[in-house]
Structure 1
C-alpha cells in the first residue's frame, strides 16, 4: 500500500523567499519532490492553512488517515497579505496535538529562527513545539524528508547531519513540480518562487545586524541548467508566473568573487545565460520577475549592473522590481548595523536602475524599478534617523526618480543575529516617532510617487480579481509587489481583467475594469467614474439597453467613452 502524506502550507516569508498566496515557495515543492524521489508511488495531498481553517473539523478528521503530516511555517519578515494569513503559533500547537497517529514533521524557517509574530517584537523560540512534532527541519529539510520517506516514516530515526546539496535539490525540484496542481491559485495567479542560491555574499563581513541570511553561511549557487529544468517542469505542469526571488542578491548569482569581497563583481554572462535558458524552456510565461538586489552591488559595479538590467528587461515582463534593502538613510545606523549602503550610495543605485528601467511597458507599468526597504528599531536609531529617511525619499522624489514601493518595517529580532540581544527595546522606545513618521512617509512620498508611477487613466493590463471586500472588490497583477486595485463595486472573482486607474490612495489605486459593457455595468461602477454626473448615470440606467455608441455618446462625454473603452 503506498504511503500517504499530507503537506499543510502555513506559509513563509523570509528576506529572500515568499510563500504566501499567490506565491508558492520551495518548501512544499521540494518536500513533495523528496518524498516522490524516495517513493514514486506515494500519495501526497497539499492544502493551505486557509483551506484548513475554512473547514477545520473536516480537515482534522481527514489528517488522521495519513502516514505523515508535514507543516510548513516561518514568517521572518513582517507583513500584511491579501492572499492568505500565515499560521499562528497557537494554531500550530493546537492542531499538532489533535493529530495523534500520523508522523508529524515541522519544516521551515520557524525551526531555526523561531516564530515571528510581528514587526517590533522578538521572535518566539518554538521549544515547546519539540514535544508536539516527531521531527523538525529547516536547513537541508529536503534531504531529511527523503531519508524519512526511505525509512517508511518511522519515528526516532537516528539521522546524520546533512548540508544542502545543489545536485540533490535539482532532483527534488523537478520531481516536486507537479504538486502545484493542488494549490488553490493554480490555473489563476499562482507564482512560483525560484531559488538561484542560498547564503549571503556579505557573510564575509557578517551581514546586516538583523538579518538571518548570513546564518546560511557561504553562498552555494545552483547551476543554470538545473534552474531551467525546474522552470521547465513547472511550466509543463501549468505554471505561467515565475519569480527569481529566492536569493539575497540576484546580481551576484554565480559571481566568482563571492567569499573574497563584500561586494563581489557580478557575473554578467551567467545571468544572461540564466534568463535565456528560462525563456527557452518556458516561452509563453505571463510573468517573469525578480526580487532582491543589493544596492551596494549596483553602486560598486555600475557597468555590470546596467548590463544586467538590460538583460532582465530583454527577457522579463514589465512591472518588475529590484527590492533594495537600504534599511536606513542615517549614516550612524548604517555603520552600527553593518548595513549595505550609505545614503549617497543608495541614491546613486536608485538612479542607475531608473536610467534603464523607468520606461513603461505593455502592461501599463515601468519595466524595472527599485523598491526601498526601511527597517526601524536598529542600533543607533534616534529622532534624526526618521528625519534622514524622510529627507532621503524627498530627494528621490525631487530628482524625478521612481521607486515601485517603500516598505517600512519594525525590526523582528531572531536568535543568532546581533539584534537578538537588543530585541525590541529601541522600537518600543521610539513607538510614537515611528507612528508619526510612517504617516508622513505615506502622505508626502508614497502618494505623489504612486501618482507618477501610474497616472490617472493608465490602463493596468491582466489584473487578477482576487477578493471581495467591504464595498467593492480587490484585484492586482501577478508579479513582484503588484499594485493593489480597489474596484468600488461587487464583481465575480477569479477572473482576469484590464483596469483603468481613476484615483490614488497611499499604496493602492481605485479603478474600473475596461472595456466597460455599458448595458450590463453595475450601477456602482458607473457612479465611481469621475466627471460622470449622477444625472448621467440615471439616464444610462433608464435608457438601457443602449443600441450603439452614438446613443452612449449622447449621455456620456466622448473623451470618457474613449478612455474607458465603453462598449454596448
Structure 2
C-alpha cells in the first residue's frame, strides 16, 4: 500500500512547520507507515499547488495553523484546499494534526474524510494499517522514538532540503503549567501532564537526520526550554530546572551532528527563570556555548497590562519579564561568528485577550520603550 502524506504545515505554540521549517508530524507518520510495512510519499502543499498529483491508496492530510502568523516563504493549507484535495483523492482519507486534535473545524471541513484523528495522527494511521481499525490514541514513548527514526528520511523529500531547511525537534508535549490550567488561550495544557522524551531518543533522531544531510535544527517542539525533564513536575507551575539533563541534550546534539550549521531554540518561560535564577543562568550559559548565534528564547509576555495578565492567567507580568530580559542579555549579548548576538530575548504579544482596553496598547508601547532605554 502507498500512503500519501500531504503536509499542510502546522504552527502551534510549541511546534512550527511552515517552510523553511519541517515539523515532526510528517516524519512520525512516515515512520508509522514504514513500521507497519507499507510505503509512503511525502508531498508539501506547495508542491501540490505547483501541480504535483496526489495518487495512492491512502491520503494522510496534516494541518494545524493554531497560532497563524505572517509568513515569508509560504502559507499553510487553507480550508478550501483541504476540502478540495481530500474530495478529489481516489481512496480513503484521514485528517490529523493540531487542527483535528483540538477540533478547530466545522462539519463541512471534515465531510470528505473517512477518519478524523482526535489524538495522535501517526498512531491512528499505524493502527489502521496493522488492524484495519481506526483509533484515537497517543503514541507510546517507544513508538515516539522509533517512528522518529524510521521517518527521518522525509527531510530529503522536502523542497528546501538540505538548505535552508530547518528541522523542528520534539523533546516534549504539554506544558508544566497544566497544574494551574496555563494561559487561557493556549492549547499546550490541553495535552495534560507533559511527556518528555529521553535524551538518548532525541540524540538518535538527530544522528540519523545528520547522516541524511540535515544541518539546521531547532528545539521548537517544547513548551519551554527550561522545563525539559524538570524536577518536581506537577508540584508547581515552575518546577526546578534540570540543568544536567539540558546540558546533556545540547552537548549530545553537537556530538550527534558535528557539521550542523544552526542549532536554535524557541520558547523560554520567564517565570521559570525567576523562580530558579541560578539554574536558569547555568542553562543559558550552556545554550550560549553550544547553540549557534542568533538564537532566541521567546517569552510569552503577551501583554504588559496587569489586568490582562490576571484575566488570562498569564505566566509573567511586565516587571518579571523585564528581569528575564536582563538575565538573557547578561549571558547572550556578545556577538558570535555570524555577527549576531549569541542569545537574544524574544517577546510575544497577543491582541484581543480578555481584559484588553485601549490602555493596554499604551502599556505595551511603554514597556517596549523602557527596553530600548535600558539597552
Deviations 1:316-343 (A, max 9, x none): 1100010111101111110111001111
Matching residue of 1:195: 170
1:89-488 equivalence runs, <5 A: 89-99=79-89, 101-115=90-104, 125-151=105-131, 154=132, 157=133, 159=135, 161-400=136-375
Deviations 1:424-462 (A, max 9, x none): xxxxxxxxxxxxxxxxxxxxxxxxxxxxxxxxxxxxxxx
Whether 2:48 is the aligned partner of 1:52: answer yes
The one of 17, 20, 37 equivalent to 1:19 is 17
Contact in 2 for aligned 1:253/1:267 (Cα 8 Å): yes
> How far apart, CA to CA, are the structure 2 residues paired with 1:139 and 1:274?
28
Q: Deviations over 1:330-360 (max 9, x none)?
A: 1111011100111110100000000011110
Aligned partners of 2:16 and 2:292: how far apart in 1? 19
User: Offset of 1:133 from its aligned partner?
Assistant: 0.6
Between the aligned partners of 2:103 and 2:74, the Cα distance in structure 1 is 20
Report the TM-score, using the length of structure 2 for normalisation.
Answer: 0.97
The 2-side partners of 1:355 and 1:317 are apart by 17
Deviation at 1:127, TM superposition (A): 2.2
Moved over 6 A (4+): none
In our comparison, the structure showing a higher alpha carbon Rg is: 1
SS at match of 2:350: strand
Structure 2 CA distance for aligned equivalents of residues 173 and 207 of structure 1: 28
Question: What is the rounded CA distance, in whole Å, between the counterparts of 1:102 and 1:28 in structure 2?
Answer: 19
| Counterpart Cα distance in 1 of 2:30 and 2:11 | 20
Aligned counterparts of 1:284 and 1:141: Cα–Cα separation in 2: 32
Secondary structure at the aligned position of 1:163 is classed as coil
Separation (CA, whole Å) in 1 of partners of 2:59 and 2:138: 23
C-alpha distance 284-329 of structure 1, shift in aligned 2 (>3 A): same
Does structure 2 conserve the Cα–Cα contact (< 8 Å) formed by 1:71 and 1:107? yes
Instruction: Give the conservation status (yes or no) of the 8 Å contact 2:230–2:241.
Output: yes
TM-score normalised to structure 1 length: 0.65
Unaligned stretches of 5+ residues in structure 1? 116-124, 401-568
**CA–CA separation in structure 1 for the residues paired with 2:296 and 2:160:** 22
Structure 2: tracts of 5 or more residues without a match: none
Q: What SS does structure 2 have at the residue aligned with 1:214?
A: helix
CA RMSD, 1 decimal: 1.3
Q: Relative contact order, CA 8 A, sep 6+: which one is greater?
A: 2
Aligned residue for 2:78? 88
Equivalent position SS for 2:240: coil
